[in-house]
Amino acid sequence: MINATAVEAVIFDMDGVLIDSEVVYMNRLRWFVRDFLGKQVPEERLLTMVGATGNGHFEAVREYCPPDWDIEVFRSHYREYGKDKPIDYPGILFPDALPALEWLKGHGYRTVLATSTVREKAEEIKALCGFGAYMEFVLCGDMFRESKPNPEIYLRCQELLKLPGEKCLVVEDSPYGIEAAVRAGIPVAVRRERRFPVDQRGADWYIDSLAELPGLLTGGLK
């Protein structure tokens, strides 16, 4: 049986874990296709982008785009569309995020960030939201050849932490992230998503709030 009390380092995903961004990103993509291309994207298609990179966003709506579009054309139009629609990242920071990170720091846990978001955007978000100060290091999707569910990002976390998988805990929300952590041999706690259907099977623990992490790590939450 996996024992969370042996954990020395907590590895956080960002979107859907520290910031409540998944719904924001889904709506942004929905509105882009509606406003820019004049088409409606079904909810089930948008759900495939939860936890995905920019490539995943394109794949989710590829069939609604002109046939001559590739990922670079999509990114160019999508960036242009979003220029006058900035996201209020501090406004979507989960209220339990900073208190949980403060508790972990105060109790000697090492904390790191491993996100599929590209480095430039991740640096912007962590600075705006204030959680960068708690992270020993940050690994981003564009640092690797493949994104989650490839386990490379979590394997690299273990290397940098110089800890085996059983001494780490990944906190995730998406099926891609869960699979990546499992393939890397690291226990996973998942922040439950109750607002829309997303496959979160495969995790070791399920939490509704990061405020539950202290109980999990000290043996009070089963």
Going from N- to C-terminal start, the domains of the chain cover 4-20+89-217, 22-82
- Backbone φ and ψ of 207, nearest 5°: -130, 150
pLDDT of residue 156: 98
Quote the CA–CA distance of 115 and 142 in Å, as a whole number: 10
Homologous superfamily of 4-20+89-217 = HAD superfamily/HAD-like (3.40.50.1000)
**24-50, pLDDT tens digit by residue?**
988 999 999 999 999 999 988 888 777
**Residue indicated by tokens 């405020």:** 211
For residue 9, how many other CB atoms are within 10 A of its CB? Answer: 21
Q: Give me the chain's average pLDDT, please.
A: 92
- Residue ranges in the chain modelled with pLDDT below 50: none
Quote the CA–CA distance of 190 and 173 in Å, as a whole number: 5
pLDDT of residue 187: 97
